[in-house]
Each structure stands twice: as C-alpha cells, then as structure tokens.
Amino acid sequence: MIDQAERLRDLVNQHNVPNVKTATNMRVITITSGKGGVGKTNFALNLAIYLARTGKRVVIIDADFGLANVELLLGVSPKYSFKEVLEGNVTVVDALTEGPEGVLFLSGGSGLAQLADVTDAQMAKLISSFNDLDAIADILIIDTGAGMSKTVTNFIKASHETIVVTTSDPTAITDAYAVMKVISADNAEPPLLKIVINRVENHKEGIEVFGRLQRVCSRFLNLQPINLGSIPYDRNLARAVKAQEPVATMYPNAESSRSIEFISKRLLDENVAEVTGVKRFIDRWVGFMRK
C-alpha cells in the first residue's frame, strides 16, 4: 500500500500538468480568538471534519507555533512539523499528517522562532511549497494562536475570511472585540468577519452575545460581522477532549456536534464572491510578516 506522502505527491503531480494553469480556488479561513481557553482549536478541528463529510478536501495549519494543539486533541505524534518545512528538509505536502475522515494537518511545532531568519531563497521555496496545497485541498483552515501577537494579526490580515471564536464570558467578549478592532484599524482590505459563540447556555444567549458584538462593531469599527451560530456547553465535548478524539466522531449526535455541523453548512451555503486560493494568501502573509 502506498503511504500518505506518496498519495499526496501523486495528487500534486497530476495537478501540475505542463501548460495548464494552476487553479486557485481554495478557500482560506483563519480561525482566531482574543484569548485562550474558548475552544478555538476544538472548533477548528471538528469544523474541518464536518466540511470533509460533505466531500470537501480540508487542510488545517496549526499556526499556534510551539503548542501543537491539533495533535494533542487527536493524540497523535506527527513525523514532521512547520519547523522541518522551514529548514527545507520536507515540502509542506510531505509534512502533512492525516487525521480523522481524511482531514490533513500541518503541525506548528517550533517553527516560529526560525521564521524571522529565513533567507529570500528559503522563503521562495516555502511559498512554492505552499502553492502545492491548491492541488490537494478545497479549504485551508488556519488555526492561530490566541491573543493579539503580530503573528496572529498577520494571518488574519492575509486571509479572505476570519472566524472569531468567543464565549459569553465578559473578558472573552472584550478580547474578541479587541481582535476585530485591530482588523478594522490595520487592514485596507479587511477579511470577511464571522463570529461563533461557544459554550452558551442556550440559543437565545448566543443571539444576545452576537448582538452586543455586532452593535459595537457597527458603531465604532464600521464592521458588519456575520453570525455563524453558537455552540452549547456540552459535557460530551469535554469527554471527547479527555479521550483525545473529536466530538464529531465520538459523539456525532451530541448537541455540540449538531451545532458545529450546522455552522459548517452555513459556511458552505454562503455565496463567497472571491475565492483567491493559497497563493494570494501566502504572498500577503509574507508581505505582512516582513514589514
């Protein structure tokens, strides 16, 4: 049986036919939060699984460098990470690890420390390597670290769509607003901004929390965020985390699972006017990073 890396390379080779222009129709979605502990990575992973169940090919980049949250949630140890990609030892495609239901992910590892020191030649190779993702994925999910670091804001500014995950906790709401304030103040082309409210008591609470955020964003930031939905507090989700298995596979009928499935359908039902592919994302990300 051919291994995962060989299968992925075959896909890339099939795509890169001479004299045929490479398609750039991948959706790049950044998932972020103003603070840690709101369930951002858990949401990103389970969202990816539900998107994959519709037939979409999904890749997650664990951009919380150094913490490797995706692999912890899955209980796996990837052979490679972003660090080996930066060092030029492997391509992005070769560094991907296969997760549940065909979802692929790139471990963040400790690559951030080396990012500032890469040469132009290394960066060109990195960009070329990332471009291969267009051949094997329909949706690229960037799971950022929490907070407001330059690394996080660069990923947001480079993306066409950003989902901000928050809870009803007042500090989480304040920090989510702070993220959106940075988006509005420091970006000539702000991404499509979407909000998910996690761990709500009920659907009504989710609507109320979004309403508060929507009003302040409209009044003070001239932003019109989209409400993707809310996810109820669910003990089954906590059990799944302890078992290092996604709630979507361990408890597919749980309230949290059904809510994330609904959100995935809303994402796919949206009429996204511009889907620019991974090349534009990487070009913009590198440009912001080097400022």
At residue 271, the pLDDT reads 65
Contact assessment for residue 86 and residue 111, using Cβ atoms and an 8 Å cutoff: yes
Contact assessment for residue 217 and residue 223, using Cβ atoms and an 8 Å cutoff: yes
At residue 130, the pLDDT reads 84
Please state, for a pLDDT cut of 90, what percent of the chain lies above it: 54
At residue 22, the pLDDT reads 45
CA distance 96 to 91: 9
Give the tens place of pLDDT for each residue, 34-89. 888 999 999 999 999 999 999 999 999 998 766 678 998 999 999 998 888 888 88
CA distance 138 to 6: 19
Pairing of strands 226-232, 192-200: parallel
Give the tens place of pLDDT for each residue, 133-158. 988 999 999 998 877 777 788 888 88
CA distance 94 to 129: 10
Domain edges within the chain: 28-289
CA distance 6 to 8: 5
Which DSSP string do the residues of the chain spell out, in sequence order? ---HHHHHHHHHHHH--TT-PPP---EEEEEE-SSSSSSHHHHHHHHHHHHHHTT--EEEEEESTTT-HHHHHHT---S--HHHHHTTSS-HHHH-EE-GGG-EEE--TTTHHHHTT--HHHHHHHHHHHHGGGGT-SEEEEEEPSS--HHHHHHHHH-SEEEEEEESSHHHHHHHHHHHHHHHHS-SSPPEEEEEEEEESSHHHHHHHHHHHHHHIIIII----EEEEEEE--HHHHHHHHTTS-HHHH-TTSHHHHHHHHHHHHHHHS--S---HHHHHHHHHHHHHT-
- CATH architecture for segment(s) 28-289: 3-Layer(aba) Sandwich (3.40)
Tokens at 47, concatenated = 């969202």
Contact assessment for residue 168 and residue 205, using Cβ atoms and an 8 Å cutoff: yes
Give the tens place of pLDDT for each residue, 222-281. 899 999 999 999 999 999 999 999 999 999 999 999 999 999 999 998 766 556 678 788
Predicted confidence (pLDDT) at residue 168 exceeds the cutoff of 50: yes
Predicted confidence (pLDDT) at residue 15 exceeds the cutoff of 50: no
Q: Which of 84, 136, 139, 130 is nearest to 107 (CA)?
A: 84
Predicted confidence (pLDDT) at residue 287 exceeds the cutoff of 80: no
pTM: 0.88
What is the chain's mean pLDDT, rounded?
Answer: 84
